[in-house]
Each structure stands twice: as C-alpha cells, then as structure tokens.
Structure 1
Amino acid sequence: MTATIAAALTGLGLIDSTSFGTLLIPIWLLLSPGRLQASRIVVYLATVAVCYFGVGVVLVLGADAALAAMRTGTASLPPVPLRIGQLILGLLVIAWSYRLEARAARQAGTPGKIQRWREKAMSGSGSSRGLVQLALLAVALEVATMLPYLAAVGLIVHADLGWQLTGSTLAAYCVVMILPALALAAARLAAHQRVDPILRRVNDWLTRNSAKTLGWTVGGIGIGISLNAVAVLILERP
C-alpha cells in the first residue's frame, strides 16, 4: 500500500467519523447525566465498527455486482411514476416532521422515555442490548449514504492488497471511524468534574430545543428526497 492510498483512507475515515452513527449519537450518549460507564460507550462503538467492517467485507466479496443487478432491474420500471412516488414520499416525510415537532413541543420540559432510557443504559442500571440495537439501527440508516466508506472500499479493492492485508486495512479504517468518539469518551472519564457541568448545560439546551431539532432533521430528509425527485423529473423530461 502506498503512502498516498494510506493518507486517502485516513482522510475518508475521519470524514466517516463525523457521521450520525459514529459521532452524533455517541455525543448524545455521553451527555447522559451521572458517572459514565466506559463499557457502555465501548459496546455501542464496537458494534458500529464491527457492522461497518462486515459491510466492507460484503462489498469486497462482490456485493457491488448484486447492487448493479438491482439497478438493472429497477431500470425497467417506468421512470416518471417511480419519481412521482418518490416525490410523494418526500412530501409525506416533510408533513410527518411537522407532526413530530408538534408532539415533541408538547412534551418539552419533561424527561421523555428516550432520555430515561439513555440514563439507564449509560449508568449501567439497564441492559446494554439496547445500545447494540441502537448501533445496528444507526448503521442501517447510514448504509445508503456512506459515500466516503464506499470510496474507501473502492480504493482498497483496486489496491489489490491480498485478503489478509485487505481485512486488516478495513479493520483499521473502522477503528479510525470511531476514534473521535472514543477520544471524547476518554476526556469525559478523565475530566469528569470539569467536563460534566459543560455537558449538562449542552444537554439542557438540546432538551429545550429537541422539538425543533427533530423537526428540522426529519424535514431535511424529506426535502432532500423531494428535490432529488423533482430534479430527475426535470432532467429526464423529453
């Protein structure tokens, strides 16, 4: 492996480390009040890394050919009705975001079920199975948009490293993806007294503004789906 490829993989891994599942959810878990149980955040991050490693192995083994076959199958479908259906889906997601925001606003100021679950899971009083399920869900939601990871797998495949080096390179990439979250967890453990008040203030702010954040996030997904459908309909118009 050349230094250029290693540097490119490191850069892509650091980009992947800022995703929803590798950074945003870990930060949310670290914001749980009380003393942090290191094993709990490790369970979550290890599950994410193992899942991404598994996806990488499947891609290396030729899942890209299966995806190409799926694209060929969908190519036979009429494009206009397909995109109109996508547009309707996007509009429904946008409408759903308003409903979610309104419901979250009504519950503002009271600790919801998800906050109580987080406190139990991260304090050690609850089961770690929920953290594993959360990690699996996060990876599943990101599979369709993990462009840096797909690019990294492509670099690894074209480098023709052999099976052992390919596996170790994939594993190292997945470790790089979770390094920032591990560093944040270590900082919270090492400087609990100094960091915890700051995290509490951030947590309070997120709790007060969770309704808007939820609405913007889900609404943004719907807008992206809708705009993509409109753009394709315009470009493919005869």
Structure 2
Amino acid sequence: MGTDLLVYLGGLALLDTLSPTIIGVTLFLILTDNKNLTSRLFSYLFTVVILYFSLGIVMMLGLNYIIETFSNIFQNKIFSWIIFIIGMFLFVASFFIPTNKKSNIPKPKTHSIFSIVFIGITTFLIEAGTALPYFAAIGLLTTNDIPFYQWLPIIAIYNIIMILPAILIFLGYKLFGKWINSTLVNLRNKISNSSNSALSWIMCIVGLILIFNTIDYL
C-alpha cells in the first residue's frame, strides 16, 4: 500500500470530521445535559461508529466479491473509470448545492440511553446516504486491491478519526467548562445554518481526490 493512498485516505477521514450532524448532536448534548453527559455522548458516538464500521465491512466485502466474480469482464481499469467519472460528477455538482438555512440535526426526545442510541441510528441513516468521503475511501481501497488484514484496521481507524472532533469538544468542555459555553453555542448555531455549505465543500474535495487518485490508471 503506497504512501499516496494513505495520504488520500487520511484526507478523506479528515473531511468526514466535518460531519455537521455528529458535531451538532454533540454540542446539543453538552449544552443541555451536564448530569449524564459522558454516558449519553459516548453511547451516541459508539452507536455511530459501530454502524459506520459495519457498513464499511459490508461494502468492502460486497465490492471485492463483485470484482472477483466478474474479473474477466470488469477489469480494474473499468472500475477506475467509474471512480473517475464519479469524481468528476461530484466536483461539478458541488457548485450547484443550494443554500439551505433549515437545520436537519436530530435531537433526543428524552434523557434515556435508548433515546441516545436511537439518535445515533438516525444520524447514521441521515448521513450514510451522503457519506461521500467514506464511500470514496471504500472505493479507493477496493480499486487498489488492499488485502483484508490491511483494510479492516484502516476502516476502524477511519471511523475513530471521524468522531475525534466530538471527543475533543467534549474534553474541551470538561477542561474549560462555562468559559467556552458561549463559543459552543455560536458553533452550534453556525453548524445548523451551514450544513449545505459544508456538503458543497466536501463534494468538491472528494471529487478532486477521486480524480487525482484514478487518473494514472485510466
């Protein structure tokens, strides 16, 4: 596995740290529930990571099976072209994302762990369909024929990186408490009002990464 591939995967993982839903739910929990914050937040993050990790495994096994089954018909060059075209589409489409001021960040109805787990599932359902960096990472791992013992820990580390901002925000709140409370409120409001803007940037960057990674294989 080349260094350039690791750089691309690291960049995609960092892009996924910009998830407005995960950060938004984290800020909501921090600002509304000090008493049970630790257990509720990590229940939420654990649920999200487990679901994303499971999705990654399913996708990797599925794509590898397709490539192995139809290797005589669909060579990796064709898959490289497919990834390249997807990259071009994402890059162009990123300039046409409309501005939307309506927040779609889910909020728990009660203070129970069950409610938090449900919000974790909801986050997965909301973002799984638009988890472009994650899908791009899976595509790159597949087209580069990365073996099982390498891609499995990569997916695990990728998902841990994805929730790092939430953990850092939590640690910052625990260390500095009310000193950063107003900053967190402003951050939550900004995230709620700019989710489409973040999606536009993510689509643009993911598109460029897919283009540059596959252009040598066309």
TM-score by length of 2: 0.61
CA shift for structure 1 position 150:
0.7
CA 1:11/1:19 → structure 2, altered by over 3 Å: closer, same or farther? same
CA 1:186/1:217 → structure 2, altered by over 3 Å: closer, same or farther? closer
What's the counterpart of residue 127 of structure 2? 142
Write out per-residue CA displacement over residues 28-58 of structure 1, whole angstroms, 9 at most, x where no aligned residue.
Answer: 2222254562222111111111111111111
CA 1:151/1:31 → structure 2, altered by over 3 Å: closer, same or farther? same
Decide whether the 8 Å contact of 1:13 with 1:148 is kept in 2.
yes
- Between the two proteins, the alignment pairs up a number of residues equal to 159
What's the counterpart of residue 167 of structure 2? 182
Output the amino acid matched with 2:164. L
CA 1:166/1:144 → structure 2, altered by over 3 Å: closer, same or farther? same
Decide whether the 8 Å contact of 1:30 with 1:36 is kept in 2.
no
CA shift for structure 1 position 202:
4.0
Output the amino acid matched with 1:14. L
- 2 CA distance for matches of 1:45 and 1:60? 22
- 2 CA distance for matches of 1:3 and 1:43? 34
What's the counterpart of residue 32 of structure 2? 32
Gaps of 5+ in 1: 66-96, 102-113, 122-126, 219-238
- 1 CA distance for matches of 2:195 and 2:158? 28
TM-score by length of 1: 0.56
Decide whether the 8 Å contact of 1:56 with 1:153 is kept in 2.
yes
The alignment partner of 2:32 has SS state of coil
* 2:151 matches 1:154: no
Decide whether the 8 Å contact of 2:16 with 2:134 is kept in 1.
yes
* 2:115 matches 1:130: yes
Bigger proportion of residues as helix? 1
The alignment partner of 2:118 has SS state of helix
What's the counterpart of residue 12 of structure 2? 12
- 2 CA distance for matches of 1:172 and 1:217? 25
What's the counterpart of residue 156 of structure 2? 171
Decide whether the 8 Å contact of 1:21 with 1:139 is kept in 2.
no
Decide whether the 8 Å contact of 1:22 with 1:177 is kept in 2.
no
Write out per-residue CA displacement over residues 1-29 of structure 1, whole angstroms, 9 at most, x where no aligned residue.
Answer: 22211121111111112123332222222
Output the amino acid matched with 2:19. S
